[in-house]
Copies of this chain bind each other. A is one copy, B any other.
């Protein structure tokens, strides 16, 4: 089922060739960890280009990073661990994105909440494959794996995003623009709505969405006063 195993449909270009010529020079003594970052970056690149997590194989990542496949074992116990690291990094990007959106918008609580939600959706739009891996991946709780990042910690990372939403919603309530009576629950509902939109967009780009679907969902789920 992997692309590689479909010789007949192999018309698709191989996605993970090394960056052309540029032969790697081994990292100096103390800084072997630098390769770890390169591996994660290579995996993200493979994921983005192929569009599916199945393409992120050990060997594909190695090709992309310009190293040999076994070299990866020094940094990751197995292929899923690489994808986990990619997801972790993406969560950090998202967190940063949301914080930035919240900070830079100064037009009042409602505008701020809309900005945060817009940041969330724009992130998903710009990195659809990564978004799918973050929230669509099934992180099986494999007890016997050395890696630290499990389903639980992925959920924890997602919960951080939820905090930002809850804070924004709370502001709106304090301001009187939101009629929500249960900020926690409504923030969850809001996040789930955003997720539904973001995910479905990341999967089927061309769907006849209403033009104002973003603001509409935020307005409804955040119980924003339509009059304002």
The residues of A with any CB-CB pair to B shorter than 8 Å are 1-2, 6, 8-9, 51-54, 56-57, 78-80, 132, 135-138, 142, 151, 154-155, 182, 184-186, 188-189, 191-197, 199-200, 203-204, 207, 209-210, 212-213, 216-217, 220-221, 223
Knowing A138-B52, A220-B220, say if A204 contacts B6 (CB, 8 Å): no
A141 to chain B: closest residue by CB:
B206
Contact of A136 among B9, B136, B185 (CB under 8 A): B136
Interface of A (DSSP majority class) = helix
Contact A213 B196 (CB under 8 A): no
CA of A56 to CA of B8, assembled, Å = 18
Contacts of A207 in B (CB 8 A): 155
Contacts of A52 in B (CB 8 A): 138
Q: Which of A6, A155, A217 is packed against the most chain B CB atoms within 10 Å?
A: A217
Contacts of A54 in B (CB 8 A): 1-2, 54
CA of A155 to CA of B191, assembled, Å = 24
